[in-house]
Amino acid sequence: MQVILAKTAGFCYGVARAVRIAQDTAEKGGGAMLGSIVHNAHVIEELERSGMRQISSAQEAGRGERVLIRAHGESKETLDALTMRGADIVYATCPNVCRIQSLVTQAEQEGRKVVIIGEAHHPEVIGIAGWCTAPLIFEDAEKVRGYFETHPDRAGLPMILVAQTTCIRTVWESCVNFLKKECTNLKIHDTICSATQKRQSEAADIAARVDAMVIVGDRKSANTRHLTEICRERCSKVLQIETADELSPEFFSGCRTAGLTAGASTPASIIMEVLTTMTEEIKTMEGNESFEEMLEKSFKTLNTGDKVTCVVTAIGATEVQVDVGCKQAGYIPVSELSNDPDVKPEDVVKVGDEIEAYVVRVNDVEGYATLSKKRLDAVKLWEDIESAVENKTVLEGIVTEENKGGIVVSVKGVRVFVPASQSGLPKDSDLSQLLKQKVQLRITEVNRARRRVVGSIKSVTNEARQAAQAAVWAEIEVGKHYDGVVKSMTSYGVFVDIGGVDGMVHISELSWSRIKHPSEIVAIGDHLDVYVISFDAEKRKISLGVKDKTQNPWDVFMATYHVGDVANVRIVKLMTFGAFAEVVPGVDGLIHISQIADRRIDKPSDVLSEGQMVDAKITAIDEEKKKISLSIRALLAPAAEEAAEETAEEAPAAAEEAAPTEE
């Protein structure tokens, strides 16, 4: 006789997690279980023997008592009642159920009506319904259709559709197909547990190929009942049992093939007992191999210390569920996922990812295995670190601390010491400026036994700078623009980094306006749009400019002012023969000493001061020499205008003779 065993039989992730949390709670002094933590009387009895008591309502909990919330979850009202009683709440709710509760809560806040496809009297559905107001609950598409035929006005309401995690896939799909056509504002969330779907799909496949099918599970369990319904649609001989005592040899009479699966709340110990009983009556025809022998093969595929490849099936707040391809349900605690204590699980893995991990612990009795990704990652990382020395590989890390003589860089959790001389900073620089910075480095020394790793940032930055310099000199040309960074400053200009090469911007090329020091308009670290004025590749010198040649200040002045106009000017320089005033940025005019006041003055500083704003009349413009004559006196009294005209021609000449380099 051929026997087909379902790989997915037994505890699912959510149940295994809830039982494990209950066992941990019992070890810490016990407490109360609100309702059946899972739908299996044998599991509940075992937990009660270990120190957990069962209560049916929040009111039965003692003041300050530790209360365990079952895998099916509870309503918000119940949780609030426990909080009011000061209960120490321990959440064992399946992460998939928590997600549904969150979805319906958010949907109600958005003004949507909640529609649940599931069993109205099931604890999970009751709990979900307790997170929203008066949801619509339907068991199948026929009831959905009947409701909307009698309430056609509801079809236009904004709605959200969710499913009980153990809902039969075909039932869900038929409901979805109807509501898609009927409702005009519907959000659909397929919340059927992936483990449930896989279990149902496998059960259906096996049932279609065998003469008899056995389903093991508590009769209160919805997922066990659904497995039975699915199998009966495909196999004429189906038996649902809770224990091995319900088996009889006559059931297998005349069968050439048999199948076996179990509900998500069925512990491995009961499945073992059932198959042991079956072994006494049924032997396979190939090698006389028994059910028990095949079960042993399926249960002993994992051992502590094994390296396994698994697929992520669900992500929770405290752990990640994985499919290890055997009977045990695998999970990775967040603490074993990454070396980063603050990391979020969804930032490390995604559902569907294939990852490798170490087996930390195997619990064959309860059917789950604890895995660690970070331990395997650590081993691989050390191997990568060692090979990085030989291959001179560039690695990336975060500077985490400064200590005597250098800094420490974390490279995927491995501490790498970088001496100050290899930090890439000038000698005696403040190394703390590198803290929390992402850096690239090469590994120069590894001692795995002492867990000592030494690296160099300087070797990477020097190589990168040399490559950048070569690229700049290979492509540089007059007029080419660069995004430069101000590196240093002098009284005569600034040095700007244009990508590994420094160029000089003379103070006269920084601005059209007259400035005394570059710090008036730029600071170290500023980004400047610079262009190449000239360069000498042999001497490695570059002259840069910043002033926009298309915005010539003289052209701006000529387009704005004419002789006779009055301008508000700024005094920029006092001379013995007069004062220079800025008319527009980059263009100065001369106010001759005779045109500063309507009286005789000994020197310009008797009346004016640098930086002062005054009104002045434009009395003459020399376009060829780009010189401007201004007069304050012409605005003080009508009589001064004649004097302004008499000195209009001699003022530029005097300015040119006294200060031929001024503009």
Place of tokens 């191997």: 383
Calculate the dihedral angle through the C-alpha atoms of 221, 225, 226, 232, rounding to the nearest 10 degrees: 160
Are 171 and 140 within 8 A, CB to CB? yes
Lateral strand order in the sheet of 66-69? 52-55, 31-34, 66-69, 88-91
Catalytic residue among 124, 139, 202, 366: 124
Burial class (CB in 10 A: 0-12, 13-18, 19+), 496: buried
Place of tokens 């590989």: 393
Are 336 and 345 within 8 A, CB to CB? no
Structure tokens, 451: 């867990």
Q: Say how far apart CA 604 and CA 584 lie, in whole Å.
A: 21
Q: Say how far apart CA 593 and CA 602 lie, in whole Å.
A: 9
Cβ neighbours of 11 (radius 10 Å):
30
Structure tokens, 234: 């495909």
356 is catalytic: no
Which of 453, 435, 436 has the alpha carbon at shortest distance from 444? 453
Name the β-bridge partners of 54: 33
Kindly provide the b/e burial profile for residues 605-617, where b requires at least 16 CB atoms within 10 angstroms of the residue's own CB: eebbeeeeebebb
Structure tokens, 223: 């997922």
Structure tokens, 331: 């999970």
In 77-235, the DSSP E strands lie at 88-91, 113-117, 136-138, 159-163, 186-188, 212-216
Catalytic residues, by residue number, are: 124
